[in-house]
Amino acid sequence: MRTPILAGNWKMNTNLASATELVNAMKNDLSQLAANGNVHVVLCPPFPYLARVNELTRGTGIQVGAQNMYYELKGAFTGEVAPAMLVDFAEYVIIGHSERRQIFHESDEVVNKKIHAALANDLKPIVCCGEALETYENGETDVWVRGQIHAAMQGLSADQVRGLVIAYEPIWAIGTGKAATGAGANAVIGISIRGALADLYGEDVAQSVRVQYGGSVTAKNIDEFIVQPDIDGALVGGASLKADEFIAICRAGLKKNS
Ligand code: 13P
């Protein structure tokens, strides 16, 4: 059984005061949810607030994730953050978010290097994939997503892959208010993502990996996704910045295996 995982990606939002306020507003409810172990809840604040969020959530069962990292271990890489710098504050790290791929030109090769570096440093990668609107409209989603999965998994062992979380985030659904349908997202995750993993590592591994949906997830539409057999949770942007909304989204995770 795959434990549902709900993660809030705060992106480049909040400041020290509002990050603190947000965690304090969600802490009690989220820790109750996390405590029974049936749902994993992860908060991914910007780098400068990782230490604070880690401190505020210690002992609550709420987990912390970073939004990015570099693949080199140390050295002359001004402005970058190494995997080993994150482990004191974070358990997870988002890798290959479409905003990193599009705005910061991260290639499939860089994404793959980052996954290797994260795993080598005891961070759990949340690996993002997803197609642009044009690809979707041309009916090329399957080929595109399979290609991203193949490229991201280069050189990884079956055991390493079992430890990954994958997030399917169609770019056209991110921040647009136009979420995919539950059935549509489930089909891409089941056929393209688990299909690619099965081709590479066999059905057993494909069925063991947790795959989230991301893109305009709200408290209103989360149920539509969480009931789908191949969807194990959500990677939430905008709605994770509102305490009540994110609590409701995480609570929906309980419906998964009940
Ligand atoms: P929104 O939930 O704001 O659409 O963002 C999704 C996302 O990119 C999460 O990583």
pLDDT, averaged per 10 consecutive residues of the chain (258 residues), comes to 96 98 98 91 98 97 98 98 97 98 98 98 98 98 98 98 98 97 98 98 98 98 97 98 98 85
Residue 258, pLDDT score: 62
Residues with CB under 6 Å of ligand 1 are 9, 97, 169, 174-175, 214-217, 235-239
DSSP 37: S
The DSSP result for 177-230, as a single string, is S-PPPHHHHHHIIIIIIHHHHHHHH-HHHHHHSEEEEESS--TTTHHHHHTSTT
The active-site residue, picked from 131, 169, 224, 245, is 169
Assign residue 157 the CATH number of its domain. 3.20.20.70
Number of domains in the chain: 1
Q: How many helices (H) and strands (E) does the chain have?
A: 13, 8
Q: What pLDDT does 129 receive?
A: 98
pTM: 0.98
> How remote is the CA of residue 36 from the centroid of ligand 1, in Å?
26
Q: Which domain holds residue 24?
A: 5-255
Rounded to whole angstroms, how far apart are CA atoms 39 and 84? 27
Residue 21: active-site member: no
In ligand 1, the atom with minimum distance to the C-alpha of 214 is 6
- What's the pLDDT at 256? 85
CA distance 176 to 171: 9
169 classed as catalytic: yes
Counting every residue written for the chain, the total comes to 258
* Cα-to-centroid distance, 158 and ligand 1 (Å): 28
